Chain A
Amino acid sequence: MGRDPSREADFVSPEMHPILPTAEPVLDVRPHEGEPTVLWRKFRRNRPALLGAGLLGLFLLAALTAPIISPADPFEQDLYHRLEPPSAEHLFGTDDFGRDILSRVIHGARISLRIGLAAMGIALVLGTAIGLAAGYFGGALDQVLMRLMDLFLAFPTILLAIGIVAILGPGLENAMIAVGLVAVPTYARLVRASTLSIREKDYVQAVRALGAGHGRVICFAILPNCMAPLTVQATLGLATAILDAAGLSFLGLGAQPPAPEWGAMLSSGRELILSAPWVLTFPGLAILLTVLALNLMGDGLRDTLDPKM
Chain B
Amino acid sequence: MGWLLRRYIAHRILLLFPTLLGITALVFLMVHLVPGDPAQVMLGERASAKNLAKLRSEMGLDKPLHTQFILYLEGLIQGDLGRSIKSHDRVSSELLARFPATLELTLAAMLFSVVLGIGAGVLSAVRRGTVLDYAGMTASLVGVSMPIFWLGLVLILLLTQWAGLFPASGRLNSHIYFPSVTGLHLVDSLLAGSLTGFGNALWHLFLPAITLGTVPAAVISRMTRSSLLEVMQEDYVRTARAKGLSQGPVVFRHALKNAFIPVLTVISLEFGYLLGGAVITESIFAWPGVGRWLVLAVFARDFRAVQGGVLLIAATFVTINLVTDLLYAWLDPRISYAESAE
Q: Do B306 and A163 touch (CB < 8 A)?
A: yes
Asked if residues A158 and B150 are in contact (CB atoms below 8 Å), the reply is: no
| Distance in Å: Cβ of A304 to nearest Cβ of chain B | 17
Bound-state Cα–Cα, A155 to B309, Å: 12
Check A273–B153 contact: CB distance below 8 A: yes
Q: Using an 8 Å CB-CB cutoff, how does the interface string of A2-45 with B read, 1 for contact, 0 for none?
A: 00000000000000000000000000000000000000000000
- Tell me the bound Cα distance from A126 to B13 in angstroms: 32
Q: Does the CB pair B277–A284 fall under 8 Å?
A: no
Across the interface, which residues of B come within 8 angstroms of A277, CB to CB?
A: 157
Q: Is the pair A163, B27 in contact by a Cβ cutoff of 8 Å?
A: yes
Residues in A143-178 with C-beta less than 8 Å from chain B: 147, 150-152, 154-160, 162-167, 169-170
B interface footprint on A226-262 (CB within 8 Å = 1, 0 otherwise): 0000000000000100010011001111000000000
Most chain B CB within a 10 A radius of its CB, from A253, A263, A266: A266
Determine whether the beta carbon of A291 is less than 8 Å from that of B277. Answer: no
Assess the A251–B279 pair: CB atoms within 8 A. Answer: yes
A165-B298, A167-B30, A250-B280 as given contacts; A274 in contact with B306, CB under 8 Å: no
A166 and B298 within 8 A (CB): yes
Interface residues on B, range: 35 or more
Interface residue from B147, B149, B295 paired with A162 (Cβ < 8 Å): B295
B156 within 8 A of A: yes
Q: Which residues of A contact B (CB under 8 A)?
A: 48, 147, 150-152, 154-160, 162-167, 169-170, 239, 243, 246-247, 250-253, 263, 266, 270, 273-274, 277, 280, 283-284, 287-288, 291-292, 294-296
Contact between B142 and A292, CB atoms less than 8 A apart:
yes
Chain A residues near B35 (CB-CB < 8 A): 169
Task: Tell me, in angstroms, the Cα distance from A170 to B26 when the chains sit together.
Answer: 20
Q: Of B56-64, B88-96, B187-195, B311-319, which stretch is located at the interface?
A: B311-319
> Given A156-B272, A167-B31, are A287 and B147 neighbors across the interface (CB < 8 Å)?
yes
Chain A residues with Cβ under 8 A from B26's Cβ?
Answer: 151-152
Q: Do B280 and A251 touch across chains, with their CB atoms under 8 A apart? A: yes
User: What mask results when residues 24 to 41 of chain B are scored 1 for a CB within 8 Å of chain A, else 0?
Assistant: 001100110111000000
Contact with A along B277-321 (1 / 0, CB 8 A): 101100100000000001100110101001000100110011001
The reply to whether A167 and B150 form a contact with Cβ atoms under 8 Å apart is no
A274 to B31, CA, bound (A): 39
Q: Return A229 CB to nearest CB of chain B, in Å.
A: 18
Q: How far is the CB of A57 from chain B (nearest CB, A)?
A: 17
Which of A159, A253, A280, A287 makes the CB contact (< 8 A) with B275? A159
Chain B residues in the interface with A (C-beta under 8 A): 19, 22-23, 26-27, 30-31, 33-35, 141-142, 144-150, 153-154, 156-157, 161, 272-273, 275-277, 279-280, 283, 294-295, 298-299, 301, 303, 306, 310, 313-314, 317-318, 321
A154 touching B144, Cβ below 8 Å: no
Q: How far is the CA of A169 from the CA of B27 in the complex (A)?
A: 16
Q: Known contacts being A155-B314, A274-B161, is A266 close to B145, with CB within 8 Å? A: no
CA distance A246 to B161 in the complex (A): 25
Q: Are B272 and A157 in contact (CB under 8 A)?
A: yes
Roughly how many angstroms separate A259 CA and B273 CA in the complex, as a whole number? Answer: 28
Inter-chain contact B142/A154, CB cutoff 8 Å: no
Contacts of B23 in A (CB 8 A): 151, 154-155
Sampled A-B contacts (20; CB under 8 Å):
A151-B22, A154-B22, A154-B321, A156-B275, A156-B317, A159-B294, A160-B310, A162-B279, A163-B306, A166-B31, A166-B34, A166-B298, A263-B149, A274-B161, A280-B150, A280-B153, A280-B154, A291-B145, A291-B147, A295-B141
CB A171 to nearest CB in B, in angstroms, measures 12
Across the interface, do B157 and A274 meet the contact criterion of CB distance under 8 Å? yes
Q: Which chain A residues border B30 with CB–CB below 8 Å? A: 163-164, 166-167
Identify which of A167, A247, A253 contacts B149 (C-beta below 8 A): A247
